[in-house]
Amino acid sequence: MSRVGKKPVAVPAGVTAKVDGQAVSVKGAKGELHFVVPDEVNVKLENNAIIVDPRAESKRARAMWGMSRSMINNLVIGVTAGFTKTLEITGVGYKAAVAGKNVQLSLGFSHDVVYAIPAGVTIVTPKPTEITITGADKRQVGQVAAEIRSYRGPEPYKGKGVRYSDEFIFRKEGKKK
């Protein structure tokens, strides 16, 4: 049994939710988001809450039940509060700056890395060594953060590179004489 799927997703005031067959759309202050629920799951809107139920007792149906409920909950949180990821840049001369619709990253290469900011995501650099990514879609915010991190991931010896603010880097000891 899914412990996550049993709980209905509450629709707060100021948010309109619409269920049309397997498609769920949620509209709020931060925008409008959509999700198509898998066929193994039944979804309905009752009393300002979205209820998700499995159609069968198969293992896949139970897995999709919890996942669908989490995805719908992320839609509601996204249109009300939004999501934020923070990246930290560590290393001598490593820095980031927002220039128009691009993020310019100096990460120790012979050239600057230019990353185009996708629609629906806002990137701010409060400090040259910090990048804050915000948006309504949790998946998109996480994907943008992962793409920026992939240019120069943190290395275990000196800890140089781009890392998530809440990420722990396991440090290794260097060579000994």
Tell me the C-alpha distance between 132 and 148, whole Å. Answer: 11
Q: Are residues 98 and 148 in the same domain?
A: yes
pLDDT the model gives residue 4: 82
| Whether residues 25 and 10 fall in one domain | yes
What is the percentage of the chain residues whose pLDDT exceeds 90? 84
**Residue 36 dihedral angles phi and psi, to the nearest 5°:** -100, 115
Task: Looking at the structure, tell me whether residues 52 and 90 fall in a common domain.
Answer: no
- Residue range of the domain that includes 32: 3-80
**Residue 157 in domain:** yes
- Are residues 99 and 41 located together in one domain of the fold? no
Q: What percent of the chain has pLDDT over 70?
A: 99
pLDDT confidence bin for 2, thresholds 50/70/90: low
Task: Encode the chain in three state secondary structure.
Answer: CCHHHHCCEECCCCCEEEEECCEEEEEECCEEEEEECCCCEEEEEECCEEEEEECCCCHHHHHHHHHHHHHHHHHHHHHHCCEEEEEEEECCCCEEEEECCEEEEECCCCCCEEEECCCCEEEEEEECCEEEEEECCHHHHHHHHHHHHHCCCCCCCCCCEEEECCCCCCCCCCCCC
pTM across the whole model: 0.88
| Cα–Cα distance measured from residue 51 to residue 44, given in angstroms and rounded to the nearest whole number | 5
pLDDT digits (tens, 9 = 90+) for 42-91: 999 998 999 999 999 899 998 899 999 999 999 999 999 999 999 999 99
Per-residue confidence band for 164, with pLDDT thresholds at 50, 70 and 90: very high
- Looking at every residue in the chain, the average pLDDT score rounds to 92
Query: Tell me, what's the pLDDT at 80?
Result: 94
User: Same structural domain for residues 105 and 153?
Assistant: yes
Say if residue 5's pLDDT is above 90.
Answer: no
pLDDT band, residue 16 (cuts 50/70/90):
very high
Domain count, the chain: 2
Answer with the one of 46, 80, 114 that is the final residue of a domain: 80
pLDDT at 176: 85
> Is residue 53 a contact partner of residue 41, using CB atoms and an 8 Å limit?
yes
Residue 125: pLDDT above 90?
yes
Q: Which amino acid is at 129?
A: T
